[in-house]
């Protein structure tokens, strides 16, 4: 059974940083691309970043480009999201998800999801 467990969320002030962690089990982690998504209040879930199986190719939504960084450690079956210069607009539930292959295209075709972690950024 595949499980993805996010952690690291919390309440921070604008300009602060947070690092989210997603630990996976039951998945041949090093074979699959991974992504981070978020659901802001009153909005649908949207992709913010993705990374291919080896970590050599990444995608970022324009809203987070230059502020967020996705990385992965295949030895630890873990994907990370470093979030810097947080803004109130980043307030959302953040989810990690796995893709069906080692690449993240199509961006919206995902296999397994975590339960999410809340990030709240106060102004």
Separation CA 121–CA 123 (nearest Å): 7
In 3D space, the residue among 24, 44, 31, 37 whose CA is nearest the CA of residue 109 turns out to be 37
Neighbour tally for 3: CB within 10 Å: 12
Largest CA distance in the chain: 40
The secondary structure of 54-101 as a DSSP string is TSS-EEE-TTTTTTEEEEEETTTTEEEEEE-S--GGG-EEEEEEEESS
Task: Tell me the average pLDDT across 23-38.
Answer: 97
Mean model confidence pLDDT for the chain: 96
Above pLDDT 70, what percent of the chain? Answer: 100
- Band (pLDDT 50/70/90 cuts) for residue 107 is confident
Above pLDDT 90, what percent of the chain? Answer: 95
Residue 12 has pLDDT above 90, yes or no: yes
- The pLDDT of residue 23: 98
Separation CA 39–CA 78 (nearest Å): 21
Pairing of β 92-99 and β 110-113: antiparallel
- Band (pLDDT 50/70/90 cuts) for residue 73 is very high
């Amino acid at each position: 059974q595949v499980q993805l467990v996010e952690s690291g969320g919390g309440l921070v002030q604008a300009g602060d940083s947070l690092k989210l962690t997603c630990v996976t089990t039951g998945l041949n982690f090093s074979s699959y691309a991974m992504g981070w998504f978020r659901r802001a209040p009153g909005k649908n879930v949207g992709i913010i970043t993705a990374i291919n199986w080896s970590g050599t190719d990444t995608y970022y939504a324009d809203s987070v480009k230059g502020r967020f960084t996705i990385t992965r450690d295949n030895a630890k079956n873990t994907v990370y999201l470093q979030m810097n210069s947080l803004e109130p607009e980043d307030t959302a539930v953040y989810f990690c998800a796995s893709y069906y292959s080692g690449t993240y295209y199509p961006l919206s075709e995902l296999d397994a999801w975590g339960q999410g972690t809340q990030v709240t950024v106060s102004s």
